[in-house]
Amino acid sequence: MYELRFDKDAEEAYSKADDKLAGRLNRCFEQLRENPLNHPNIKALKGKLEGLYRYRSGDWRIIYEPDKKEYIVNILQIVRRNKAYR
């Protein structure tokens, strides 16, 4: 199982989430703990974000960087889709 680590911005966004969104994010986090590389809502990013992945949950995106050797998932951003790839 992978360990999750939150960047400051991601932790702040999570703490501000309402109960409904927090529940959805918690389900996403469980999936990322089990396998951060293989799920229908997971996609490897390209271009300047190469090496990062995103998990799609409705209009929200979790941008993260998995460390396959250390079994760590660094959660970098939790943002709405229209702000995710800037």
Does residue 85 register a pLDDT over 80? no
- Cα 32 to Cα 82: distance, rounded to the nearest angstrom: 22
Domain boundaries, the chain: 3-81
Is the full-model pTM beyond 0.85? yes
Question: Which residues share a beta bridge with 18?
Answer: none
pLDDT in tens, 42-72: 999 999 999 999 999 999 999 999 999 999 9
Residue count of the chain: 86
Does residue 38 register a pLDDT over 90? yes
- Cα 47 to Cα 51: distance, rounded to the nearest angstrom: 9
pLDDT band of 86, cuts 50, 70, 90: low
Mean pLDDT score of the chain:
95
User: Closest Cα to residue 74, out of 46, 58, 50, 52?
Assistant: 52
Domain 3-81 superfamily per CATH: RelE-like (3.30.2310.20)
Q: What per-residue string of b and e applies to 46-81 under the rule 16 or more CB within 10 Å gives b?
A: eeeeeebbbbbbeebbbbbbbeeeeeebbbbbbbee
